[in-house]
A and B are shown apart, each in its own frame.
Chain A
Amino acid sequence: MKHDEHLPDQQLLLDVEGEISPHDERLVRAHLSACWKCRARRQELDNAITGFVRAHQREFEAKLPPAAGPRALLKAQLSQLSWNAAGVRSGWPAFPRAFAWGAALCGLLVFGFLFVRSTMERQNLSDRHALIVSTPDSSLTPGATLLASRPAVCAQENIKNKVVPIALQRKVFEQYGIAGADPHAYEVDYLVTPALGGADDIHNLWPHSYSHTVWNARVKDALEDRLREMVCDGSIDLAEAQREIATNWITAYKKYFHTDQPLAEHCDRCVE
């Protein structure tokens, strides 16, 4: 390093970052004590770090989705994994071969019995859930919205039946304990529709029965259209519309359509 040359950014940054070797550090410090230009440049790089860190943090502060749902999902997956691992670790004791064959045969019989029973249980569970999922579980699906304004919401096209990625749909089914249910019987629905500023977030998604209840996905679609119209013509606040639909969409439907039952035109496939 020559004393009459200015230090390159890379070397100044290594110094700022404490990543410089002791030998180079001495040279850099000697140069900096004599060169105002390099000291100013070093300060600029330091300021750039500050500027980036602030912008980076602020950018994500508002955007990061809440951790509660993913945390619960991880917990469940870990306990499943631990259970499986414990099963594998317990392993086979060192039986003589004849005993091992006998045990394997017994195991097969038990496995067959358990398999048949679990299939039947799964079927029962699916049926049970198919009958009840017309309102979301608020602990799993409290609703999530983007920071969108009324003009922004109304300027965009009325997004209907936005496709939810398959992997995410699967997660929603798992969270609701209906992993084995027929996916065609449900629409993985946004609680707060994207047309009203609803977010692509698992906390805003739930499996809504298509035809097993009176209050099915098609009826909710009608409410979403109604609320969007009201938001855009100024007769209701966007935040209020989001809150109403997230709190209890059936109550909101009754309120805004002045009825206790879905209207016939919204309910072509409703069954009692």
Chain B
Amino acid sequence: MIAFFDQFRDPLLRYLSSFGLAFPDCEEVLQEVFLSLFQHLDQGKSSDNLRGWLFRVAHNLALKSRYRIRQDFDSRADTGAAEFAVDPTPSPEDQLANHQTQLRVLAVVEALPEQDRRCLFLRAEGLRYREIAGILDMSLGAVSISLARSLARIARSAER
């Protein structure tokens, strides 16, 4: 189980961040994911395509977690959203380095519809179209259209 954690923790964290969750919340979701995996295997359930299983469970738990956090925000109106926001100021290293293209790409990705961003992040973690379709409950064609649309935007940003 710990070997699975070592193998999939970073890819899952990257994917969970596409839900707009802060890293501590992502870590919390991850703990739940791996505890669920333990129970899943302990109950003798299928161990086919565990990578797909992990991403699907992470996806569902992230949606729940985000819902909970939003409820929490609503109930604590005095807690400003800025409190949880990531500091957008680039580090001096970033300012020095020439990352213009990278920043443009990231800006394009940030502006993508949520579902398109998830498709892209899952594909970047090596999942095939069929697996992405299963995780996001979409058709194979919709995955392909989504990725083509996103990459066309990224390609356009690189031309600028």
Contact = CB atoms under 8 A, between A and B. Distances in A.
B145 A149 contact: no
Given A52-B109, A163-B79, A81 B38 contact: yes
Contacts of B28: 167-168, 171
A58 B23 contact: no
Contact of A74 (B2, B14, B24, B121): B2
A10 B145 contact: yes
A189 to B, nearest CB: 15
16 contacts: A13-B148, A14-B144, A19-B128, A45-B151, A45-B155, A47-B155, A51-B101, A59-B102, A62-B91, A64-B14, A71-B6, A78-B34, A81-B39, A162-B83, A165-B72, A171-B28
A49 interface: yes
B1 interface: yes
A202 B24 contact: yes
A149 B106 contact: no
A53 B154 CA distance: 11
Contacts of A67: 5-6, 9-10
A87 B85 CA distance: 44
A171 B24 CA distance: 11
A56 B124 contact: yes
Contacts of A187: none
A151 to B, nearest CB: 9
A254 to B, nearest CB: 31
Contact of A52 (B22, B24, B120): B120
Contact of B25 (A13, A55, A85, A165): A165
A52 B151 contact: yes
A38 to B, nearest CB: 14
A200 B24 CA distance: 7
A17 B147 CA distance: 11
**Interface SS, A side:** helix
A55 B14 CA distance: 12
A236 B25 CA distance: 33
A74 B34 contact: yes
Contact of A81 (B5, B35, B120, B124): B35
Given A10-B145, A47-B155, A52-B109, A65 B27 contact: yes
Given A53-B124, A60-B14, A64-B13, A202 B27 contact: yes
Nearest to B109: A52
B31 interface: yes
A48 B2 contact: no
Interface in B104-160: 105-106, 109, 120-121, 124, 128-129, 144-145, 147-149, 151-152, 154-155, 158
A269 interface: no
Contacts of B13: 60, 64
A104 interface: no
A77 B109 CA distance: 36
Contacts of A112: none
A57 to B, nearest CB: 8
Given A13-B151, A65-B23, A163-B79, A52 B124 contact: yes
A51 B79 contact: no
Interface string B59-100: 000000000000010000001000110010101111000010
Nearest to B93: A147
A23 interface: no
**10 nearest A-B residue pairs (beta carbon):** A147-B91, A48-B155, A48-B154, A10-B148, A55-B105, A55-B102, A9-B148, A48-B151, A152-B89, A44-B155
